[in-house]
Chains A and B, each alone.
Chain A
């Protein structure tokens, strides 16, 4: 067991657990996308960023891949972490505006404008499907192809491989295609079907989290 401080509270956690798991155990809300219980942590989406304080310096780390350490000081909802998360979600929405998961996340964070050029890639490359296929289905039929902005999820050479058993797991676990946003038109890259365009208010439900949300309150992930 190691002892660390999360948001000012001293907690004990098993060695080997991640900061995200330790924080969730305490009931602290940290949004996640590429993290999925039962799959290995990947650290791709950077939505679960937390601030790690080290004396006078502090860094942002993805809490899903950050192992707990003795004496660690973590801030899960500091302005620095929240600002970075917001920009990350904004970037994600700009590359995949039809995802309902993302739209909900944006509304929870009080994002009411996307300042970046919208380039709908239809996928956020979180890699949940790739890891599910490999780790849970023991198949490895799909993987990442290409580099940088041309990176995509694909089968080898675009041919359905023998390993694929058509289990549908990749589709089931996808945070984008499973819950596509049904709104017809997007305003500024935001769907507008829910509370996105309503004035930003402070969440009254979770005391102390001071997360900016719409009138619908806070979605707990």
Chain B
């Protein structure tokens, strides 16, 4: 790779690369993000490469291994360009057929096509899949066009052009104005106006003009993986955003603080940084502009609290990852006591888009207070799980029923948990709520980093609140009392309620304690930690009352409050449950009604799940 010394050289390289990328050329694409790899996409990718060579197609057909396309449900996925034919659940055994039929003969392999679960129709083209067609893939669409190990792919589709604009055509104030006009708000959770952080950091006086830029990739919400996917699939968009930010704030050193549990993201980011350095897009004198900036990777040990800005900086410095009071903002005194700007992965990835397309265009997407798109990880009891990118202001209903395809087995929706463990539970009655920073906060939840867990009637609110409180109790750093002791006691009370020892006063106590933890905790983790409990009490108080007054779990989840029995009329005496019961608690003979011994039953639910005749009843 030759170092690029001017924007002209970059443009020359870009047009050379773009010429090579014929849009009509046949390309086999497979997504090898972490989710794909877990389902065997690595073997599929190797099989495709071998098969292309075997069928002598190596010269005429391109192969590209990209990051996750978003639809994790149908991984491993193979897409044939230029038609964008999608094959789902591909195994290495299917590869020869795909290559000979689809690539060689240009015929569609029917049996591997995606079927719309609501209509049962086969869908041939990627853009026709309802999961994709309802999205607005501003940041994630490029992932399918890029091999993250090839900087050339990113440059060919227009990468680093925003950087050129910022370095050579715009003044830092103009960049700030653009970000302000765009109305970009931090995607890490709190939704703080990005421009205010940038301005404060730019204005901050600094000894030796040392300032730092940090990318927060310490994503730790259970069930959320937007940042991982962006870093794995399109690391250069994040790097480009960081360089633009650094130039605007006049910083020369940057860090990406990324979880060590994201090995693929760390690898892909490392390769991307190395390649950007070789091209002179990072390091000394970027593109001959005289501006120096470099980025280092810092791997986090996996503590949830290290996603909090001050704890993250403490951890980066090698100290214990604990937050400090933020009366002096990190924009003035952050990492090593110097002015520091910290933004989330997704926020950084938005920056080049805003610069390229302009604030005017960008601010048309979204609602009054929340602009642009947001990536959510849509998980839970839903048909289409995966990463979805939607414009702000889309309703929960559209997300669940149109993109998510509705609930599994057509069950009714009960609630949606947004914002991960710090977010809240939104009941089905509010399903028409538009998703943006302010609307979610109004109903006691939050945007968070973008986890969205869909629940049906078989989820118990108390159990849900207990799960998240347990997670947060374990992840609390333990520095301040309300969070350390308060969450622990909250968990005790919730455990009591779920085990039938709760009283009505306990619910009031939970509310009082939750309110105090929210107000009194030192950092954002404690300040939002009671949200799952408070929001479930607010919206599902009946369910809490059923637990404490009637000692009953309506969802049939809390083990101490339920019993498993066999319905005599429905049991066919098939012996399946009796054979599989780990406790040998079920007795019965062939074609005779079985009985569960309540003494031995550990309520593992196995019989309930196994019975094909719905004869096992939870009461």
A interface, CB within 8 angstroms of B: 43-46, 49, 59-62, 65-67, 80, 83-84, 87-88, 91-92, 94-95, 115-117, 119, 124-125, 144, 146-151
Could you tell me how many residues of chain B have their Cβ less than 8 Å away from some Cβ of chain A?
A: 31
Most B Cβ at <10 Å: residue of A46, A59, A61: A46
Is the CB–CB distance between A148 and B476 below 8 Å? yes
Q: Does B187 contact A (CB under 8 A)?
A: no
Give the nearest-CB partner of A83 in chain B: B516
Is the CB–CB distance between A148 and B478 below 8 Å? yes
Complex CA distance for A43 and B328, rounded to whole angstroms: 14
Choose one: B320, B328, B479, B509; the contact of A67 (CB below 8 Å). Answer: B328
Residues of chain A with a CB closer than 8 A to B593's CB: none
Give the nearest-CB partner of B485 in chain A: A91
Most B Cβ at <10 Å: residue of A61, A65, A67, A116: A116
Complex CA distance for A70 and B296, rounded to whole angstroms: 39
Is the CB–CB distance between A60 and B478 below 8 Å? no
Give the nearest-CB partner of B489 in chain A: A116
Residues of chain B with a CB closer than 8 A to A84's CB: 516, 519-520
Give the nearest-CB partner of B303 in chain A: A147
Most A Cβ at <10 Å: residue of B474, B475, B509, B520: B520
Residues of chain B with a CB closer than 8 A to A43's CB: 324-325, 480, 522
Choose one: B325, B477, B478; the contact of A62 (CB below 8 Å). Answer: B325
B interface, CB within 8 angstroms of A: 303, 305, 320, 324-325, 327-328, 473-482, 484-486, 488-489, 492, 509, 512-513, 516, 519-522
Residues of chain B with a CB closer than 8 A to A146's CB: 478
Lowest 9 A-B CB distances belong to which pairs? A151-B478, A91-B485, A87-B516, A116-B489, A65-B325, A60-B519, A148-B476, A148-B478, A84-B520
Complex CA distance for A87 and B486, rounded to whole angstroms: 9
Q: What are 7 A-B pairs with beta-carbon distances under 8 A?
A: A43-B480, A44-B522, A46-B481, A65-B327, A147-B303, A147-B474, A151-B479
**Given A65-B325, A147-B477, A149-B488, 11 other A-B residues pairs in contact with their CB atoms under 8 A:** A46-B521, A62-B325, A62-B522, A84-B516, A87-B486, A91-B482, A92-B481, A94-B489, A116-B485, A148-B476, A149-B478
| Main secondary structure on A side of the interface with B | mixed
Give the nearest-CB partner of B509 in chain A: A115
Most A Cβ at <10 Å: residue of B475, B479, B485, B488: B485
Given A124-B481, A149-B488, A60 and B473 touching (CB < 8 A)?
A: no
Give the nearest-CB partner of B475 in chain A: A148
Choose one: B324, B325, B482, B509; the contact of A88 (CB below 8 Å). Answer: B482
* A184 nearest CB across to chain B (Å): 25
Residues of chain A with a CB closer than 8 A to B327's CB: 61, 65-67
Is the CB–CB distance between B520 and A149 below 8 Å? no
Is the CB–CB distance between B325 and A91 below 8 Å? no
Residues of chain A with a CB closer than 8 A to B475's CB: 147-148
Is the CB–CB distance between A46 and B522 below 8 Å? yes
Given A117-B492, A151-B478, A46 and B520 touching (CB < 8 A)?
A: yes
* A87 nearest CB across to chain B (Å): 4
Is the CB–CB distance between A49 and B520 below 8 Å? yes
Is the CB–CB distance between B489 and A125 below 8 Å? no
Is the CB–CB distance between B516 and A149 below 8 Å? no
Complex CA distance for A87 and B520, rounded to whole angstroms: 10
Is the CB–CB distance between A44 and B485 below 8 Å? no
Is the CB–CB distance between B513 and A148 below 8 Å? no
Give the nearest-CB partner of B505 in chain A: A115
Give the nearest-CB partner of B517 in chain A: A87
Residues of chain A with a CB closer than 8 A to B521's CB: 46
* B530 nearest CB across to chain A (Å): 12
Give the nearest-CB partner of A51 in chain B: B519
Complex CA distance for A62 and B327, rounded to whole angstroms: 11
Given A66-B325, A67-B328, A80-B519, A148 and B474 touching (CB < 8 A)?
A: yes
Is the CB–CB distance between A149 and B484 below 8 Å? yes
* A64 nearest CB across to chain B (Å): 9
Is the CB–CB distance between B513 and A87 below 8 Å? yes
Is the CB–CB distance between B481 and A147 below 8 Å? no
Is the CB–CB distance between A91 and B489 below 8 Å? yes
Is the CB–CB distance between A92 and B485 below 8 Å? yes
Is the CB–CB distance between B516 and A116 below 8 Å? no
Residues of chain A with a CB closer than 8 A to B476's CB: 147-149
Complex CA distance for A144 and B481, rounded to whole angstroms: 15
* B304 nearest CB across to chain A (Å): 10
* B524 nearest CB across to chain A (Å): 13
Residues of chain A with a CB closer than 8 A to B519's CB: 49, 59-60, 80, 84
Residues of chain A with a CB closer than 8 A to B486's CB: 87, 91
Is the CB–CB distance between A46 and B513 below 8 Å? no
Is the CB–CB distance between B492 and A116 below 8 Å? yes
Complex CA distance for A67 and B328, rounded to whole angstroms: 9
Complex CA distance for A46 and B489, rounded to whole angstroms: 17
Is the CB–CB distance between B482 and A44 below 8 Å? no
Complex CA distance for A106 and B367, rounded to whole angstroms: 49
Give the nearest-CB partner of B324 in chain A: A43
Choose one: A49, A83, A119, A147; the contact of B478 (CB below 8 Å). Answer: A147
Residues of chain A with a CB closer than 8 A to B303's CB: 147
